[in-house]
Amino acid sequence: MPNLASISDDPPAPDATGAAPRISFVSLGCPKALVDSERILTRLRAEGYALSRSHAGADAVIVNTCGFLDSAKAESLKAIGDALKENGKVIVTGCMGAEPGPILDAFPQISAITGPQDYESVMAAVHKAAPRGENPFIDLLPPQGVKLTPRHYAYLKISEGCHNRCTFCIIPKLRGDLVSRPAAEVLREAEKLVKAGVKELLVVSQDTSAYGQDLRYQSSRFQNREVRARFFDLARELGEMDAWVRLHYVYPYPHVDEVIALMAEGKVLPYLDIPFQHAAPNVLRAMKRPGNVEKTLDRILDWRKTCPDLAIRSTFIVGFPGETEADFQILLDWLEEAKLDRVGAFKYEPVAGASANDLGLPPVPPEIQQNRWRRFMEKQQKISYARQKAKVGKRLAILLDKVFPGGGEGRTKADAPEIDGKVFVSSRRPLRAGEFVTVKIDRAEAYDLHATAI
């Protein structure tokens, strides 16, 4: 049953000139939401809709919202308000659409609201708001679909939803339980992307290492072989494609060790994005984190023995309810030993609907949260800088994201787009975006590197 709250019943007539109706699109939120946006845009283009750069020049606007934190909700509401000011027909989708009450309270004139991944309902709302006439140009769609990322990298979503119940998180409420895509479907999409010129595949989901559990790891036929819907099997198959493969949102389940071996062999990038969130056992228990989180330091040391180039990115929450100074100190000590490459930290926010609010644990006052966040970031900045400095003088492969006169900007295997550092490259020869270049690292900052093309 589509979750569609339709308010307008009076569709306008199709454009008498036969021109394709134009849709403008706002995409907010995480890479998973970006993939949803790409799917909707692909459907729009497949059905002959044109895309508009401005709300004012469009026949309707779609806003794909993020509802993860209160700050993200505020940003989503602002985007909806801005769209309504410029265009009367606004369709809202995404995580915030799962609970439409606050949106309808603020903007009762919205044309339709759907929850995340509800592509059918979004398209039904578009058909109503901006009917499409007969369009002979239906197969102008590129085979890889419409991408919002630059041509040389793409997000590859392998599952929807999550079967964990971390107490600070409302994603399972918004997006439901884990639903994995069959391995063959994921691999066919990856193959199309690589054929279309994508040089880096960024594997995303809510819990990448849980991939296939809901399918009982059932195999599906890709090319002339059966591939199991299993984290390791999928990573190995992706590793055979002619592209960098980067794994995001991995939890430290025991079977992750097998994938580290693939990294050591150079099949997938030596990069793990693991949201550890904390290190103190009390806090981790209260957070109900998945995976074997108690022995992560030993695991990290073992992984680095197998794959010395491994770069680890993580996120942490400081000031979770009940976190004591002793718990926080455990986290700082852990950080010192783990020597992670990239780290983001957030102060705990009591998101409405999160079960952490009902644990009966004392909240950490905002000034203590701020103080812990500052101490945490200062410590990590020193660690990141030391790890970056160790790269000076090395020759590294980078993938160029942008070029400008005299050089360009790219990333090493240790840097994911948008969230990690950049490498600023100077070059005597002209460079091309999307090209792999070997560079010599000249200088390091805490997050970025400066280099010369060889």
**Which residues of this protein are in contact with ligand SF4, per CB under 6 A?**
162, 164-166, 169, 171-172, 206-207, 290
Residues contacting residue 329 through CB under 8 Å, at least 6 positions apart: none
Q: DSSP assignment, residue 331?
A: H
Cβ atoms of 233 and 256 within 8 Å: the answer is no
CA distance 40 to 92: 12
Which residues on neighbouring strands pair with residue 247, listed in sequence order?
203, 272
H runs (alpha helix) in 162-239: 171-175, 183-195, 231-239
Residue number, 162 or 416, with CB nearest to ligand SF4: 162
Residue number, 27 or 167, with CB nearest to ligand SF4: 167
Residue number, 270 or 291, with CB nearest to ligand SF4: 291
Residue 316 φ/ψ, nearest 5 degrees: -135, 155
Q: How far is the CB of 205 from ligand SF4 (least distance, A)?
A: 9
Q: How far is the CB of 290 from ligand SF4 (least distance, A)?
A: 6
Q: How far is the CB of 323 from ligand SF4 (least distance, A)?
A: 17
The total of other beta-carbon atoms located within 10 Å of residue 130's CB is 24
Q: Is 157 left (phi over 0), alpha (psi -120 to 50) or beta?
A: beta
CA distance 52 to 171: 31
CA distance 339 to 325: 21
Q: How far is the CB of 181 from ligand SF4 (least distance, A)?
A: 17
Residue number, 34 or 171, with CB nearest to ligand SF4: 171
Residue with the two structure tokens 């591939």 = 227
Q: How far is the CB of 250 from ligand SF4 (least distance, A)?
A: 11
Burial of 365 (C-beta count, 10 Å sphere; 0-12/13-18/19+)? exposed
HSE value, Cβ hemisphere, 13 Å, CA-based, for 435: 15
Q: How far is the CB of 449 from ligand SF4 (least distance, A)?
A: 30
**Element housing 411 (H / E):** strand 407-411
Q: How far is the CB of 245 from ligand SF4 (least distance, A)?
A: 21
Q: How far is the CB of 164 from ligand SF4 (least distance, A)?
A: 4
Residue 121 φ/ψ, nearest 5 degrees: -70, -35
Q: DSSP assignment, residue 51?
A: E
The total of other beta-carbon atoms located within 10 Å of residue 147's CB is 19
Residue number, 53 or 165, with CB nearest to ligand SF4: 165
Residues contacting residue 308 through CB under 8 Å, at least 6 positions apart: none
Residue number, 114 or 206, with CB nearest to ligand SF4: 206
Residue number, 169 or 274, with CB nearest to ligand SF4: 169
Q: Provide the token pair at 112.
A: 């339709």
Q: How far is the CB of 251 from ligand SF4 (least distance, A)?
A: 7
Q: How far is the CB of 163 from ligand SF4 (least distance, A)?
A: 8
Residue number, 294 or 337, with CB nearest to ligand SF4: 294
Q: How far is the CB of 49 from ligand SF4 (least distance, A)?
A: 32
Give buried/exposed letters for 149-171 (b at 16+ CB in 10 A, else e).
beebbbbbbbbbbbbbebbbbbb
Residue number, 201 or 204, with CB nearest to ligand SF4: 204
Residue number, 114 or 277, with CB nearest to ligand SF4: 277
Residue number, 85 or 165, with CB nearest to ligand SF4: 165
Residues contacting residue 429 through CB under 8 Å, at least 6 positions apart: 453
* Amino acid symbol at 190: A
